[in-house]
């Protein structure tokens, strides 16, 4: 054959054309599933179940409870370019659904064995159909079935050997399918998703209908990311942009990027947007670390070209640079507003289930002179005369306090303290009190208790935060939260045996209540009526329980409705009297007086929050001494820390001193 003669151009066989087109749309099981998922969502499904075998290569089944497919449409449902979404080319400008080109089912039928089982609400039964190369084989068979559609894809790429060989790792294909399901589950919290492998009872992904975005992020990606999420949103009427989502703060980082982007509810990717946001996080995260980002953008459909990629994985839209800049600015502002110091949560690797520090009884030392030397990196400061961080602070720093405005009137009465002796103590056997004490003991963390018991005071970084050392670990604790919980425990364990703080002159309760109603935080009580009427209701409630309050809590009122005493919870500590008006209002309206156990629980909580409040306490110049010499010894010796203290940012591990020693050792 002469090389100078050009080859003949021929029209390809229709079967070859369809398989080439199918290969562009269905590149792997995850692409097929994405197309089928979008069809199920378009059909208004509320439950979608996916079952795989060999990563979807042997079997990919998706079952939904949507509207189903009409019997009349079953003959052409797998033909190319058959759709219920479009009627003219101009409809592409306003398309807002997922599967709109009519290629998904047709493409699948050309590269796999396809079976459809479907039932609509108007049909008395379901119909089962099998398809090959876009054509219906035989006629639809009547079978029993639930409303919705089940699509069964078997032997994917059975007729394209090269493609099948390239996808020979089922585990990798399953992971890609799971990634697609995860992203759609996060974006569609009102829909329940279930993903599992054939023959296994346990599910790999399960979300529930009518959940929330955060619920699904927590269920799929874990608690660590869910508790570090920041919600972002933006709306620009001029650009016709709506943007919302959830991003992780600076406390969270992962080696694997999680970038979930939906534009007009379609899962897509945008390299420009992703890189712009990763550049922002580079200021907060270590190198080669990535944040979690779930973003949903709603743009004018006329500005979006969704038809530029066979799998609709990429989209083009007008004003891309402006839109990316707006999204970037919103996320920058959110991260800057949440730029607190890095938090280190207490995890199992820091808190073993059993204390690791042996007691002296377990390891007796026979000869002190022969005791093995302690490595410098394991030395623990236990001498109370040792330096604390206070000497390194400037006077302005050591007396830092909240900037809340002062009350209009300052209460500064003289006090007389009385305390009960052991001989005067009475035994309390009330079932309600014993139950509340048992709750405290059951919720106590033995490991956290060991940490506090082995602690050494270091100093206060700011009014609410305390630094202490336990063994070779440095911790930061919210002293206000801890003291509120500690006072709650004192109230229950000293129930009926309190000393009293007696005012030198009785305090008029009515005047205190009126003073409390002037505070912004008390405005909610004025919703029930004018101030005078609210005060009368409060007085009536307190007067009705006056005998009980005096007997159990040493809170005494006389017949003239004057306050005589309040309970003495700690020696050498008088709660801030500026908070007394609000405390009395809370006693009247926030204590549940309807049942005994709830009455004692809520009374103790309200009282503990008043005694543990730092709002007014930090205005005193000696508040740090109070923390060191009055509060901290109680926490160290008596406090029973609840297990949730390591989860709610109340107690944070700053650093293991052994790790710091390694750093300074290099210097």
CA 621/CA 629 separation, integer angstroms: 14
**Which pLDDT score is estimated for 182?**
96
Cβ contacts of 365 within 8 Å, gap of 6 or more = 371
**Which pLDDT score is estimated for 342?**
47
Query: Is the confidence at residue 407, as pLDDT, over 80?
Result: no
Q: For 637-660, what is each residue's pLDDT tens digit? A: 888 988 887 665 678 887 776 665
Q: Mean of the per-residue pLDDT values for the chain?
A: 79
Query: Is the confidence at residue 625, as pLDDT, over 90?
Result: no
- Written as one string, the DSSP assignment of 376-419 is GGG-----TTS--GGGGS-HHHHT----PPPPSS-----EEEE-
Query: Is the confidence at residue 259, as pLDDT, over 50?
Result: yes
Average pLDDT on 79-97 reads 54
Q: For 293-314, what is each residue's pLDDT tens digit? A: 999 999 887 776 554 444 445 5
What's the pLDDT band for 5 if we cut at 50, 70, 90? confident
Kindly give the interhelix angle for 271-281 and 320-337, rounded to the nearest 10 degrees.
20
**Which pLDDT score is estimated for 116?**
95
**Which pLDDT score is estimated for 615?**
74
Q: Bigger pLDDT: 244 or 303?
A: 244
Pick the range with the lowest mean pLDDT from 155-164, 184-193, 371-380, 476-485. 371-380
Q: Are strands 556-557 and 229-236 parallel, antiparallel or unpaired?
A: unpaired
**Which pLDDT score is estimated for 8?**
65
What's the pLDDT band for 335 if we cut at 50, 70, 90? confident
Q: For 507-560, what is each residue's pLDDT tens digit? A: 899 999 999 898 888 888 888 788 899 999 999 999 999 999 998 999 999 888
Query: Is the confidence at residue 570, as pLDDT, over 80?
Result: yes
Q: Which pair of structure tokens corresponds to residue 232?
A: 């972002």
What's the pLDDT band for 357 if we cut at 50, 70, 90? very low
**Which pLDDT score is estimated for 521?**
87
Query: Is the confidence at residue 463, as pLDDT, over 60?
Result: yes
Kindly give the interhelix angle for 509-517 and 580-590, rounded to the nearest 10 degrees.
90
What's the pLDDT band for 345 if we cut at 50, 70, 90? very low
Query: Is the confidence at residue 197, as pLDDT, over 50?
Result: yes
**Which pLDDT score is estimated for 127?**
95
**Which pLDDT score is estimated for 480?**
85
CA 435/CA 27 separation, integer angstroms: 62
Q: Bigger pLDDT: 635 or 351?
A: 635
**Which pLDDT score is estimated for 309?**
42
**Which pLDDT score is estimated for 341?**
43
pTM for the whole structure: 0.51
**Phi and psi, residue 211, nearest 5°:** -95, -165
What's the pLDDT band for 467 if we cut at 50, 70, 90? confident
Kindly give the interhelix angle for 580-590 and 596-611, rounded to the nearest 10 degrees.
160
**Which pLDDT score is estimated for 638?**
87
Query: Is the confidence at residue 419, as pLDDT, over 50?
Result: yes
Average pLDDT on 410-415 reads 49
Contact 153, 26 (CB under 8 A): no
Contact 51, 61 (CB under 8 A): yes
Average pLDDT on 578-592 reads 91
Contact 194, 202 (CB under 8 A): no
Contact 198, 59 (CB under 8 A): yes
Whose CA is closest to 193, among 184, 97, 212? 184
Contact 127, 74 (CB under 8 A): yes
Cβ contacts of 603 within 8 Å, gap of 6 or more = 491, 553, 587, 591
What's the pLDDT band for 2 if we cut at 50, 70, 90? low
Q: What percent of the chain has pLDDT over 90?
A: 34
Q: Bigger pLDDT: 101 or 452?
A: 452
**Which pLDDT score is estimated for 391?**
47
């Amino acid at each position: 054959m002469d090389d100078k003669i050009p080859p003949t151009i021929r029209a390809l066989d229709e079967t070859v054309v369809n398989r080439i087109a199918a290969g562009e749309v269905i590149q792997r099981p995850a692409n097929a599933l994405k197309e089928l998922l979008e069809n199920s969502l378009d059909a208004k499904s509320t439950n979608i179940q996916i079952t795989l075998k060999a990563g979807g290569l042997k079997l990919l089944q998706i079952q939904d409870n949507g509207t189903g497919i009409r019997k009349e449409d079953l003959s052409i449902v797998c033909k190319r370019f058959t759709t219920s979404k479009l009627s003219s080319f101009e409809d592409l400008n306003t398309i807002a659904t997922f599967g709109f080109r009519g290629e998904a089912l047709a493409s699948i039928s050309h590269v796999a064995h396809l079976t459809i089982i479907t039932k609509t609400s108007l049909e008395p039964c379901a119909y089962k159909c099998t398809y090959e190369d876009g054509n219906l084989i035989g006629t639809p068979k009547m079978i029993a079935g639930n409303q919705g559609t089940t699509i069964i894809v078997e032997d994917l790429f059975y007729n394209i050997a090269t493609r099948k060989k390239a996808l020979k790792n089922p585990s990798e294909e399953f992971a890609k399918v799971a990634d697609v399901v995860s992203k759609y589950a996060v974006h569609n919290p009102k829909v329940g998703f279930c993903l599992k492998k054939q023959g296994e009872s346990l599910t790999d992904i399960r979300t529930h209908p009518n959940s929330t975005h955060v619920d699904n992020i927590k269920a799929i990606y874990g608690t660590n990311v869910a508790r570090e999420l920041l919600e972002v949103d933006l709306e620009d009427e001029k650009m016709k942009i709506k943007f919302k989502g959830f991003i992780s703060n600076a406390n969270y980082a992962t080696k694997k990027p999680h970038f979930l982007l939906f534009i007009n509810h379609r899962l897509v990717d945008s390299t420009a947007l992703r890189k712009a946001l990763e550049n922002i996080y580079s200021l907060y995260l270590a190198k080669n670390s990535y944040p979690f980002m779930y973003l949903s953008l709603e743009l004018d459909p006329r500005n979006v070209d969704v038809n530029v990629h066979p799998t609709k994985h990429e989209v083009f839209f007008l004003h891309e640079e402006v839109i990316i800049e707006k999204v970037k600015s919103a996320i920058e502002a959110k991260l800057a507003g949440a730029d607190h110091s890095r938090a280190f949560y207490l995890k199992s690797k820091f808190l073993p289930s059993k204390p690791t520090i042996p007691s002296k009884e377990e390891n007796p030392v026979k000869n002190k002179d022969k005791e093995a030397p302690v490595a410098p990196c394991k030395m623990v400061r236990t001498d109370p005369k040792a330096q604390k961080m206070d000497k390194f602070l400037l006077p302005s720093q050591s007396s830092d306090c909240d900037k809340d405005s002062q009350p209009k009137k300052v209460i500064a009465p003289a006090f007389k303290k009385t305390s009960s002796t052991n001989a005067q103590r009475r035994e309390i056997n009330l079932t309600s009190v014993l139950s509340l004490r048992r709750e405290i003991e059951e919720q106590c963390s033995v490991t956290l208790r060991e940490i506090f018991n082995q602690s050494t005071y270091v100093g206060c970084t700011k009014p609410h935060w305390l630094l202490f050392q336990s063994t070779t670990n440095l911790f930061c604790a919210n002293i206000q939260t801890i003291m509120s919980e500690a006072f709650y425990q004192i109230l229950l364990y000293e129930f009926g045996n309190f000393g009293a703080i007696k005012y030198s002159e009785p305090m008029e309760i009515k005047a205190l209540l009126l003073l409390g109603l002037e505070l912004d935080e008390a405005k909610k009580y004025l919703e029930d009526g004018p101030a005078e009427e609210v005060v009368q209701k409060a007085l009536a409630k307190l007067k009705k329980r006056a005998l009980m309050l005096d007997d159990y809590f040493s809170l005494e009122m006389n017949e003239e409705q004057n306050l005589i005493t309040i309970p003495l919870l700690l020696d050498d500590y008088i709660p801030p009297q500026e908070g007394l008006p609000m405390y009395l209002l809370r006693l009247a309206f926030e204590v549940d007086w309807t049942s005994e156990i709830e009455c004692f629980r809520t009374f103790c909580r309200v009282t503990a929050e008043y005694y543990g409040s730092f709002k007014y306490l930090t205005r005193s110049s000696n508040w740090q001494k109070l923390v060191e010499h009055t509060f901290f010894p109680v926490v160290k010796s008596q406090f029973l820390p609840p297990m949730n203290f390591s989860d709610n940012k109340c107690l944070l591990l700053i650093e293991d001193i052994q790790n710091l020693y390694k750093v300074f050792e290099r210097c």
